Chain A
């Protein structure tokens, strides 16, 4: 029992080490982070301006509603991008810096290593999403009288579990093929972008794309966030979005860990952990 407690403590300290490392890196690259945040704000504003552009060119739309919907899509997508980026960096950045072998020979379980990476990604991503939403909402002076921000936040947090599971699956790709892995990661991310209804209702997609949308956690995260912020839906009414997220999370996390462990074994069998390039 004592041994188990000691092991658990060491594992938690190790996961904390991953968070600590990412904190140091964020601190050291803070100007890059600020520049990237500026770019994301600019990109989000560009997307939200589309709503005003439609009205100006004669379209009959509720500008406030469309602008808010686009803003939610852009913010959730930016959040998802942060999660994927951090998880992809689990391997890719460490390979580039040459630290990957030292991380993989440490007595920290892979599950806790990835959990540490996920915890930092969620914390950093949520904080960034809140700033991004606030800045853009203030810029357009959007009216959200019924918004239930707490419910939106909770839906996003639940969705994060699924995102992490999918992110873990893609994060192992650079281990199998350093260059192609990163490329495939972008393909996976791009697929989620197009099918999940980030800027439009899923219903506009062709049938086969709507089928893929059903297994994308981003679809439910976006629907839930829009219901909470635009319609003021309470959490209890969002069960239709939450249960698929819980199921996708329950499948994707163990599946992600399994895929990662297979990838790691492959890399160790074929000598792919070593830095190249």
Chain B
């Protein structure tokens, strides 16, 4: 049988000027429960990570998606990074479908996740060097660019050749930002880039994101569970709860819509749940991948 809704979506052209367009995006995961006594096999449970999420981001816009652990933020970022395949709906980056044109999308996006993710014995310069080659940048292209970009993120030049494992988390996250910016992405996906950082490193990373926003024409999708970070860095703030995007508006309008004084109150009004304090678990780990 033809899925009329899906068929209609497929023929609707991508809106011009949109950097990111997400239509009815859906993703679910099946995970095996741990085996209980008397059971031969653990039961399989289905968890909906994204439930018909739709939104559009203009070129150069910064959008923050607020959500608790397990709300689907990381799944959204992974779908836009071509690291996951959706179970329904579509997503486009500058008009390129993330499923049918993954390589075109990969040239346009880069990502910073909650874990810095580097080869820990290798230095910052080595990690950035090989990663840049994957994007077609030769050693000649990166000879000056890597020191420049490391300097911009406030990375001390005398520590460039130290193994990553010798660096603090804050320092590693700066290198992660440098890695993402090195390839000049049109769309930058920031998945809880400041989670677990000490207050000073957090401020430095936020300051750098603000600088990117002001000096580059990158479109930034910031997934966070830091309310202040969302409000201070983004033009629009979305509330993602249990895979559903409940709202996506400028922070003022969000507060107004829910007759709330603070973003936290607006979040509570929208979701019916208190906003949890920051945890160090990845978004996926609690509910979706539990």
Q: A residues bordering B, Cβ < 8 Å?
A: 9-11, 13-14, 16-18, 20-21, 24-25, 28-29, 97-99, 101-109, 113, 265, 268-271, 273-275
CB<8 Å pairs between A and B, sample of 13: A10-B135, A13-B138, A14-B134, A21-B126, A24-B119, A28-B163, A97-B118, A105-B82, A105-B110, A109-B103, A270-B29, A271-B29, A273-B83
Which residues of B in the span 103-128 have a Cβ within 8 Å of any Cβ on A?
Answer: 103, 106-107, 109-111, 113, 115, 117-122, 126
Taking CB atoms, residues of chain A closer than 8 Å to B115 are 98, 275
A99→B135 contact, CB < 8 A = no
> Once the chains bind, are A28 and B109 in contact (CB under 8 Å)?
no
Nearest CB in chain B to that of A101: its residue: B83
Q: How far is the CA of A108 from the CA of B102 in the complex (A)?
A: 11
Which residue of the partner chain, among B113, B131, B133, contacts A13 with CB atoms under 8 Å?
B133
Question: Within residues 190 to 205 of chain B, which ones have a CB less than 8 A from any CB in chain A?
Answer: none
What does the 1/0 interface line of B74-103 toward A look like (CB < 8 Å)? 010010011111000000000000000001
A15 to chain B, nearest CB (A): 8
In the complex, whether B243 has a CB less than 8 A from a CB of chain A is no
| B284 contacts chain A at the CB level, 8 A cutoff | yes
Residue from A18, A29, A101, A269 in contact with B85 in the complex, judged by beta carbons closer than 8 Å: A269
B130 → chain A closest CB, angstroms: 4
Known: A10-B136, A17-B134, A271-B289. A28 touches B117 (CB 8 A): no
Pick from B75, B120, B163 the residue with the most CB of A within 10 Å.
B120
Cβ-based interface call for B30 (8 A): yes
Q: Whole-angstrom distance from the CB of B102 to the nearest CB of chain A?
A: 9
Pair count A-B, CB < 8 A? 107
Contact of B107 among A24, A28, A107 (CB under 8 A): A107
Q: Do A25 and B122 form a contact, CB below 8 Å, given A20-B133, A105-B111, A270-B30?
A: yes
Q: Beyond A21-B119, A98-B118, A268-B85: 20 further Cβ-contacts under 8 Å? A: A17-B129, A17-B130, A18-B133, A21-B130, A29-B121, A97-B119, A97-B120, A101-B111, A105-B110, A106-B106, A106-B131, A106-B134, A268-B82, A268-B83, A271-B75, A271-B78, A271-B284, A273-B84, A274-B78, A274-B289
Within 8 A of A (CB), among B242-257: none
Q: Give the chain A neighbours of B166 by CB distance below 8 A.
A: none
Residues of chain A contacted by B131 (CB below 8 angstroms): 17, 102, 106
Please tell me if the beta carbons of B84 and A271 are within 8 angstroms of each other in the complex. yes
Interface residues of B (CB under 8 A from A): 29-30, 75, 78, 81-85, 103, 106-107, 109-111, 113, 115, 117-122, 126, 129-138, 163, 179, 284, 289
Instruction: Assess whether B136 is in contact with A14, with CB atoms less than 8 Å apart.
Output: yes
Could you tell me if A99 and B119 are in contact, using CB atoms closer than 8 angstroms? yes
Residue of A nearest to B179 (CB): A102
Q: Which residue of A lies closest to B289 (CB)?
A: A271
Q: Which residues of B sit under 8 angstroms from A18, Cβ to Cβ?
A: 130, 133
Q: With A28-B121, A106-B106, A271-B84 as given contacts, are A101 and B113 in contact (CB-CB < 8 Å)?
A: yes
A13 B119 Cβ-Cβ under 8 A: no
In chain B, what residue has the closest Cβ to A6?
B136
Whether A107 pairs with B81 at a CB distance below 8 angstroms is no
Report the minimal beta-carbon distance from A241 to chain B, rounded to whole angstroms: 36
Closest to A32 in B: B121
With a cutoff of 8 Å between Cβ atoms, the chain A residues found around residue B133 in the complex are: 13-14, 16-18, 20
- Residues on B with beta carbons closer than 8 Å to the beta carbon of A24: 119, 122, 126, 129-130
A107 and B134 contact, CB distance less than 8 A: yes
Q: How far is the CA of A97 from the CA of B131 in the complex (A)?
A: 14
Q: Which residue of B lies closest to A28 (CB)?
A: B121
Docked CA distance A275–B284 (Å) = 11
* Contacting residues, chain A, for B137 (C-beta < 8 A): 13
The 6 closest A-B pairs by CB, nearest first: A17-B133, A10-B136, A106-B134, A21-B130, A107-B106, A98-B117
Select the residue from A25, A99, A275 with max chain B CB neighbours within 10 A: A99
Shortest B167–chain A CB gap in Å is 15
Distance of A103 Cα from B137 Cα, bound (Å): 15
User: How far, in whole Å, are A13 and B284 apart by their CA atoms in the complex?
Assistant: 34
Bound complex: CA A248 to CA B63 (Å): 52
Which of A14, A29, A102 is packed against the most chain B CB atoms within 10 Å?
A102
The answer to whether B134 and A99 touch across the interface, beta carbons within 8 angstroms, is: no
CB contacts (< 8 Å) of A20 on chain B: these are 129-130, 133
Q: Which of A28, A98, A101 contacts B122 (CB 8 A)?
A: A28
Chain B residues lying within 8 Å of A106, measured Cβ to Cβ, are 106, 131, 134-135
Report how far A150 CA is from B119 CA in the complex, Å. Answer: 37
Minimum CB–CB distance for B273 against chain A, Å: 24
A140 to chain B, nearest CB (A): 36
Cα of A233 to Cα of B58 in the assembled complex, Å: 69
- Greatest chain A CB density within 10 A among B78, B106, B134, B163 is at B134
The reply to whether A108 and B134 contact each other, CB–CB distance below 8 Å, is yes
For residue A21, which residues in chain B have a CB less than 8 angstroms away from its CB?
A: 119, 122, 126, 130
For the complex, what is the distance from the CA of A50 to the CA of B274, rounded to whole Å? 72
Contacts of B135 in A (CB 8 A): 10, 14, 106-108
Q: In whole angstroms, what is the CA distance A268 to B86 when docked?
A: 9
